[in-house]
Chains A and B, each alone.
Chain A
Amino acid sequence: MTRAATARAATAGDAAAREASALTVTDLTVTLPHPGGRVRVLDGVSFDVPPATTVGLIGESGSGKSMTAGALMGLLPEGATTTGGVVWRGTDLLTADAAHLRRVRGRQIAMVFQDPLAALNPTQRIGRQVGEIPRRDGLSRAEVRRRVIDLLDRAGIPEPERRMRAYPHEFSGGLRQRAVIAMALSGNPSLLLADEPTTALDVTVQARILALLRSVQRAEGLSMLLVSHDLRVVSHVAERVVVMYAGRVAEQGPAREVLRRPAHPYTRALVASVPAVRTRTALADPLPGAPATPAARPSGCPFHPRCPLARERCRTEVPAPRAVADGRRSACHFAEEVLGS
């Protein structure tokens, strides 16, 4: 039996627990101190991450997608206040005590970070960092070692016995991200929060890391929240997408349908801005204007200054997210019109 197969067999027992594991985010609002008053960087964000499903969280920089991932884990910058609900296995993580959060972190919900070089401790060997959770859980040295080798192997790091002795700066970018993924898997989590996991990598490496994340997610039946600004990344991996704009959810639904037939003008513009590689028809259609920031959020629908469909109502009335089709929600007053066109 291969190592990966052993690991799958070992984790099969947790399948039942994972089945019940869904993350429910309700009306998540985060404010940060800002000159001239607090700013709502997240404003009423709601979405689910169903069991064994990959959800893509997409938006331009400043849309609040990384902030969302941090808020779920209680890892926000100092001075942030959070309201709403993040329910995980029957407990609201926003009101849970520190000890409960520590049991969840790493062991139930684990993070994969954007910049693997910064996310790894430069003075510790890879093996020590990947083996930290097992070691603190009281496994013996030999057990920790076996576990680290298995984790590195599952993350596709060749020669794990040798590589576990290396320091982060001795790894390539791709290997580092694999080490970060191995570290994320070290506590047998049910949910991975991957915050721009391929952004800091070369394009050729990006594809391999994405393939790794997808295969790990499927093999172990994990849920995954994949935060990315890159529509192509999300479309390759995610079953559902949540599109964010200026700290709010613009639209969400099954990935394939949302990207093929958007129900929000912002999603449509986002899809149009992605250059098609195979065709030579036209340059991508870049989004006009600059993204709205939560600090200077326009009135009404925050997207209205850049929206080709904007009308008077969009300037004055904040569109509430509503169901527009099976499993799909959109925060556009004219979602049906967008869907139909």
Chain B
Amino acid sequence: MIRMVVKRLLIGVFVMWGAASLIFLIVRAAPGDPASVLLGPDADREQIRQLHATLGLDRPLHEQYVTYLGDVLRLDFGESHRLGRPAMDAVLERFPATLELTLTATTVAVVAGLLLGLLAGARPGGRTDRVVSAVTIALQSFPTFWVGIMGVLLFALTLRLLPSSGVGTPQHMVLPALTMALPFIAIVARLARSSVTETMREPYVVTARSKGLTEPQILLGHALRNSLVPVVTIVGLQMGALLGGAVIVENVFAWPGLGSLVVDAVANRDYAVVQGVTLLIAGAVTVLNLVADLLCAQLDPRIRMEAAA
């Protein structure tokens, strides 16, 4: 088990290196120049050249790259010249808000998705199954930004039940978290349904029936745990996607998380902040997937055995 964790962490280091390198290249390949953004339209060539020298942007790309990697290894993620402070400070300041939103959305999605999936999978082809299947297809088909805007129109502007944007009260969380959770609910529900349906066809479920168990006892006592492995894996992956995808939702609802920070940073060519956000999310995704795999091993002893081998 420990070997598996170590192995996965080593792979994680490579993933982070890849992410760091890619984003390093992408921000520099993108059109625009941090110096001209910082100095404004009136700056002359000499001023821009001087700022390039101060920022180190006049040096060859490979030199910048080596310096950057060396700094990252020393946990120095560079200075945000626009904010005038260490980039990672700004990133970490915004991270809790995004994490709060993502965790809330995930909790809602897992609870609601599992419930729907179990209800549907208990009797495949039944009425519940057909309703759940229609609902989940609808949920997955609506684009996130549209759901967000419609949510604001209905609940904030028309019904005046919830605030349309910002933070402060638990009510502020409802619309952005639900907007994030809805497609996620559909993913979990559909996966849980097919997983439960498949498990209910296993011979050991027939064994459980031959022992005189009721269908709910079989579903909860024998089928649920065995159906969870694929669900846990997908939830881990999907949470990573949520962290990255928070950009859209956070901007619709003016949520002060990483999403709004990174949009701002991209617009202003704030390389250090963009790189910092990317590294943090890559790290979070690595950890999330590791946690998901550990959970799977906890659920199924056969995975534990494979990991030990």
B207 touches A111 (CB 8 A): yes
- Check A118/B212 contact, CB under 8 A, given A123-B300, A169-B302: no
Alpha-carbon distance A40/B208, docked complex (angstroms): 27
Number of interface residues of B (CB under 8 A): 22
- Check A122/B226 contact, CB under 8 A, given A73-B210, A183-B211: yes
Q: Is B305 an interface residue (CB 8 A)?
A: yes
Alpha-carbon distance A113/B204, docked complex (angstroms): 10
Contact of A115 among B203, B214, B301 (CB under 8 A): B203
Q: Give, as a whole number of angstroms, the nearest-CB distance from A244 to chain B.
A: 21
By beta carbon, the residue of chain A nearest B217 is: A136
Q: Is B202 an interface residue (CB 8 A)?
A: yes
Interface centre among B210, B213, B214, B217 (most CB of A within 10 A): B210
- Check A121/B226 contact, CB under 8 A, given A167-B301, A169-B301, A169-B305: yes
Alpha-carbon distance A267/B45, docked complex (angstroms): 103
Q: Is A104 an interface residue (CB 8 A)?
A: yes
A-B contacts, 28 of them at CB < 8 A, read A75-B206, A102-B212, A103-B212, A105-B209, A105-B212, A106-B211, A106-B212, A110-B210, A110-B211, A113-B203, A113-B207, A115-B203, A119-B206, A119-B207, A121-B226, A122-B301, A122-B302, A123-B226, A123-B299, A123-B300, A123-B301, A124-B222, A132-B208, A132-B221, A167-B301, A169-B302, A180-B207, A186-B211
Q: Is A294 an interface residue (CB 8 A)?
A: no
Taking chain B's interface residues, is the majority helix, strand, or loop, or is none over half, making it mixed? helix
Chain A residues lying within 8 Å of B222, measured Cβ to Cβ, are: 121, 124
Contact residues of A between 66 and 86, Cβ < 8 Å to B? 73, 75
By beta carbon, the residue of chain A nearest B211 is: A106
Name the interface size band of chain A: 20 to 34
Chain A residues lying within 8 Å of B305, measured Cβ to Cβ, are: 169-170
Chain B residues lying within 8 Å of A180, measured Cβ to Cβ, are: 207
Q: Is A133 an interface residue (CB 8 A)?
A: yes
Q: Tell me the B residues contacting A by CB distance below 8 Å.
A: 202-204, 206-214, 217, 221-222, 225-226, 299-302, 305
Q: Tell me the A residues contacting B by CB distance below 8 Å.
A: 73, 75, 101-107, 110-111, 113, 115, 118-124, 132-133, 136, 167, 169-170, 180, 183, 186-187
Q: Give, as a whole number of angstroms, the nearest-CB distance from B223 to chain A.
A: 9
Alpha-carbon distance A333/B168, docked complex (angstroms): 89
Q: Give, as a whole number of angstroms, the nearest-CB distance from A243 to chain B.
A: 25
B209 touches A122 (CB 8 A): no
Closest 3 CB pairs of A and B: A105-B212, A118-B203, A106-B211
A102 touches B213 (CB 8 A): yes
Alpha-carbon distance A295/B213, docked complex (angstroms): 33
Chain B residues lying within 8 Å of A110, measured Cβ to Cβ, are: 210-211
Alpha-carbon distance A102/B209, docked complex (angstroms): 8
By beta carbon, the residue of chain A nearest B300 is: A123
Chain A residues lying within 8 Å of B299, measured Cβ to Cβ, are: 123
By beta carbon, the residue of chain A nearest B214 is: A102
Contact of B212 among A104, A113, A120, A169 (CB under 8 A): A104
B204 touches A119 (CB 8 A): yes
Q: Give, as a whole number of angstroms, the nearest-CB distance from B225 to chain A.
A: 5
By beta carbon, the residue of chain B nearest A104 is: B212
B212 touches A133 (CB 8 A): yes
A105 touches B203 (CB 8 A): no
Chain A residues lying within 8 Å of B217, measured Cβ to Cβ, are: 136
Alpha-carbon distance A187/B300, docked complex (angstroms): 27
Q: Give, as a whole number of angstroms, the nearest-CB distance from B74 to chain A.
A: 45
